[in-house]
Amino acid sequence: MITTATRQHTLRGHLPGRHTARAASSVEHQAMLASRLTARDKWLLALLHEHRVLTTAQIQDAAFPSGRSARQRLRDLYLWRVVSRFQPFQQLGSAPMHYVLGPAGAAVLAAEHGLELKDLGYRHDRAMGIAHNQRLAHTVGVNDFFTSLIARTRHIPAAGQAEALGAWWSESRCARHFGDLVIPDGYGRWRIRHGSTSREVEWFLEFDTGTESLTKVGRKLTGYARLAESTGIATPVLVWLPATRREAGARTALARVHADLDNPRAVPVATAAANLLDPTSPHPSPAEAVWLPLTSARADRAGPRYRLADLADAWPGLPPPADTADDQGETGDSTAASPDRLPPPSPIPPPATPNRLARSDT
C-alpha cells in the first residue's frame, strides 16, 4: 500500500538457510562441502557441466530412486550454492525446476581436476543464461532422450541380458570434435551383454522439435557423409521426431538426400517418433522397438521397427564401434584450460552412499 511503503532492504533479504555468494566462495564453505558432498553429488556436478541443464525429473531418472529423495537432495545442494535453479514460464500449469551448475559446485569440480576456477571456463551468469536461451526446449529434449536411457539401465533389466548406456556426449563436445563437418545434438553408445557375449551400437543423435524445415533436416546427411569419408567410420545417425506424421515427411526428405550420397552405406539412418512410446510404461525410452531404418530410396517402405539393442542388425556388414569413445578423438586431458578438455562423465551414476540410503533414498 502507498501508506505503508516497503523498505528497499527487505526486498534484498536472503533465502533463509542459503549461503550468500561471498560465503559460498570461502575456504570455510569448501571445507564444509568436503564433508557433505557424496560421489553421486560430484557426478551430478560433472553431468551439469557437460550438459548445461537438467530438470528435476531428469535428475531423478539419472540418479535417484524417487522424486522425494531427488527433491530433498537438490534442495540441500541449492542451499549450499552447489547448484542453481530456475523455473521457465509456461502458459498452462507450471514448468519443472531446471538446474544448472552453481558457483560452489564449479569450484569443487575445478579442484577435482586440478584446475583454477577460471580455467574451467565457468561463469555463473553464463550458466544461468540458458534460462533465456531460445534453444532451451531443444537442450532439455536432448537430455530427456539420454536420461530416459539411463533410467531404463537402472530400473528395467532385460531378461537374460544386460543393457546400459555406455557413453553420452553433449552437443558442445561433439562440436569440438566434428564441428568443421557436422554438429550432432549428441553422441551415444548402447551396450548389450548376453551371457559371455557383448556388443555395442553407437550413434549420432539428431533431435527434431518440429521447428526446422524438413529439407534442412535432410541436408544434414551430407555433413555426416563427409564425416564418414574423413574418419573412415560408418556411424549410424538416429533422427528422433515428435510424431509419426512428421516422421513420414522427414523420411521422404532424408531418403531423397541419402540416395544421392556417393556412399549411402557409410551413413546408416534410422528414424523414430516420440508418440510411438508406450505411455503406460513406467520408464518409456528410445530403447524400445520404435526405430525404422532408412534402407532404400522409398521412404514409405514398410518394415519392422527395431529395438535400440538390435538396431545394428538392420545394417549387415556395419563394423562394430571402436573399443572406447576415446577412439573418436577424446583425449581425456583434464589438465588443459578448457571445459571441453574435461573427460566426459560416465552416464551411469555411482551408488548412493550408505548414510544417504538411510536418510533419503528409502
Give pLDDT, residue 6: 57
First to last CA, the chain: 47
In a domain? residue 235: yes
The SS3 call for residue 319 is: coil
What letters, b where the CB count within 10 A reaches 16 and e where it falls short, cover 274-312? Answer: bebeeeeeebbbbbbebbbbbbeeebeeeeebbbbbebb
pTM: 0.88
Residue among 22, 41, 23 nearest 360 (CA): 41
Give DSSP secondary structure letters for 295-317.
-SS-TT-----B-GGGGGGGSTT
The SS3 call for residue 208 is: coil
In a domain? residue 345: no
In degrees and rounded to multiples of 5, residue 193 shows phi and psi of -120, 125
**What is the spatial distance between Cα 192 and Cα 173, in angstroms, rounded to a whole number?**
25
In a domain? residue 116: yes
**What is the spatial distance between Cα 74 and Cα 79, in angstroms, rounded to a whole number?**
9
Q: Quick one: 96 and 147 in the same domain?
A: no
Q: Give residue 199's Cα distance to chain centre.
A: 22
C-alpha cell of 284?
A: 518409456
Q: Quick one: 293 and 318 in the same domain?
A: yes
Give pLDDT, residue 300: 53
Residues contacting 354, CB < 8 A, separation 6+: none
In a domain? residue 224: yes
In a domain? residue 347: no
Q: Quick one: 244 and 185 in the same domain?
A: yes
**What is the spatial distance between Cα 105 and Cα 111, in angstroms, rounded to a whole number?**
10
**3-state helix/strand/coil string of 126-150:** HHHHHHHCCCHHHHHHHHHHHHHHH
The count of other CB atoms within 10 Å of the CB of residue 34 is: 10
In a domain? residue 3: no
The parent domain of residue 46 ranges over 12-133+352-359
Q: Quick one: 98 and 204 in the same domain?
A: no
User: Residue-wise pLDDT tens for the chain (362 aa)?
Assistant: 556 565 655 545 556 667 776 777 788 999 999 999 999 999 999 999 999 999 999 999 999 999 999 999 999 999 999 999 999 998 888 999 999 999 999 999 999 999 988 889 899 999 999 999 999 999 999 999 999 999 998 886 654 458 899 999 999 999 999 999 999 999 999 998 877 788 899 999 999 999 999 999 999 999 999 999 999 999 999 999 999 999 999 999 999 999 999 999 999 999 999 999 988 888 899 999 999 999 754 555 567 899 999 999 999 889 888 765 444 444 444 334 354 578 999 999 998 877 544 454 44
In a domain? residue 344: no
Q: Quick one: 18 and 60 in the same domain?
A: yes
Q: Quick one: 22 and 156 in the same domain?
A: no
Positive or negative, the CA dihedral 298, 303, 304, 310 is negative
Positive or negative, the CA dihedral 236, 237, 239, 244 is negative
Q: Cell 573399443 sits at which residue? A: 323
Q: Give residue 155's Cα distance to chain centre.
A: 18
Q: What is the number of domains present in the chain?
A: 2
The enclosing domain of 54 has a CATH number of 1.10.10.10
Q: Quick one: 28 and 174 in the same domain?
A: no
Q: Quick one: 163 and 307 in the same domain?
A: yes
Q: Quick one: 58 and 171 in the same domain?
A: no
Give pLDDT, residue 311: 93
In a domain? residue 309: yes
**What is the spatial distance between Cα 247 and Cα 255, in angstroms, rounded to a whole number?**
12
Strand partners, 13: none
